[in-house]
Copies of this chain bind each other. A is one copy, B any other.
Amino acid sequence: MNALDLDTPSVFIDLDILERNLRRMQELSRSLGVALRPHAKTHKIPEIARMQLALGAVGLTVAKVAEAEVMPGEDVLIAYPVLEPKLGRVRDLLRSRRVAVVVDSVEAAVPLREIPALVEVDVGFGRCGVPSPEDAVRVARACRTFHGLFYYPAGMDEAGVRRAAGIVKETLAALSAAGLRAEVVSGGSTPNAARTPLIPETTEIRPGTYALNDASVVALGSAAPEDCALRILATVVSTSVPGQAVIDAGSKTFSLNPTKVVGGYGRFVDRPWTLEKMNEEHGYVKLQGPARVGEKVWVIPGHAGTCVNLHDEIAYGRAGRVEGRWRVAARGRVR
């Protein structure tokens, strides 16, 4: 079936683009001499995770235990402070594969016992992560199975990554002085994967968005529109306001990405239109040129990870043909 014949709104993944994205990041990791541990929160689709593992990824990264429970592979990093009530489930996972979690507090570290833990150090993102090398040592000492250091360079610029490098270096020195050996130094992100050599102690990177890409990473400059594998097919349902069209896809299809500077709500593939605003089931389009009620259009979502998470099933294919559908098995798995 032709992808344009999908009912709207529908989500479609272009396999040619997806495969190229996966290969490129695997090659980049190889050339940088670091392992690739893709973050599966972006696609939430086990079949894509299997493609990543087949290409050479050492394992997967996930955000929540419930994602790990449906993802394939023998090695998974739960990049999240996993607290007591969920540790039974982590121990269940540990019976059949390698699992590690990430901590930044003694309170989270102590109950882990035999569960391998990476200590997160904040390198400037200001979310999680211990604030100093001394705290890293304190938390690592509270881990019975200290496994390594974790940092998240997010979308910071080169100066930020250079500052992060200093923090990683200092923290590793403090850990080493305390007799704590970081077997793994886990970093990376889609926008900063290529800057990994600035933090040479890094042993693995965890980009996620690169598999699909989205209008945000295009705006950040780390991908081109033709690298975006994820698209929404939508239909113009109203043109009653002059200069505006309304499409049948809103925040319940795209998810809301309010930071207009990083990609806005979405990016039209073959129209010079702008997605200006969204309600739940309405996308407001600022038109250039005419639009016709019933016209179908392709849009690259603003944020791949939250968009995929709204859909039970996603069609995939190449050259505009639908070859099948994937179930978004990790959709909604927030616990």
Q: Which chain A residues have a beta carbon within 8 Å of chain B's beta carbons?
A: 7-10, 41, 63-64, 80-81, 83-86, 104-105, 107-108, 122, 126-131, 135, 235, 237-242, 244, 246, 248-249, 251-253, 255-258, 279-282, 284, 292-294, 305-306, 309-312, 332, 334-335
Contact = CB atoms under 8 A, between A and B. Distances in A.
Copies in the complex: 2
Given A7-B335, A239-B105, A334-B252, A84 B127 contact: no
Among A86, A135, A293, which residue has the most Cβ atoms of chain B within 10 A? A293
Contacts of A135: 240
Contact of A306 (B85, B244, B280): B280
Given A255-B251, A293-B81, A294-B83, A63 B281 contact: yes
B86 A7 contact: yes
A253 B334 contact: yes
A303 to B, nearest CB: 9
A149 to B, nearest CB: 14
B130 A240 contact: yes
Contact of A332 (B41, B105, B239, B311): B311
Given A105-B239, A294-B83, A41 B279 contact: no
B305 A332 contact: no
Nearest to A84: B294
Given A7-B86, A81-B293, A131 B240 contact: yes
Contacts of A305: 280
B312 A238 contact: no
5 contacts: A9-B335, A80-B237, A122-B240, A128-B240, A251-B306
Given A81-B293, A310-B309, A128 B246 contact: yes
Contact of A104 (B8, B108, B240, B311): B240
A265 to B, nearest CB: 10
Contacts of A104: 238, 240
Contacts of A284: 127
Contact of A41 (B63, B238, B258, B281): B281
Given A107-B294, A280-B41, A127 B7 contact: no
A293 B83 contact: yes
Contacts of A255: 251, 255-256
A332 B306 contact: no
Nearest to A66: B7
A282 B9 contact: no
Max chain B Cβ within 10 angstroms of own Cβ: one of A80, A244, A284, A294? A294
A64 B281 contact: yes
Given A108-B237, A240-B122, A256 B306 contact: yes
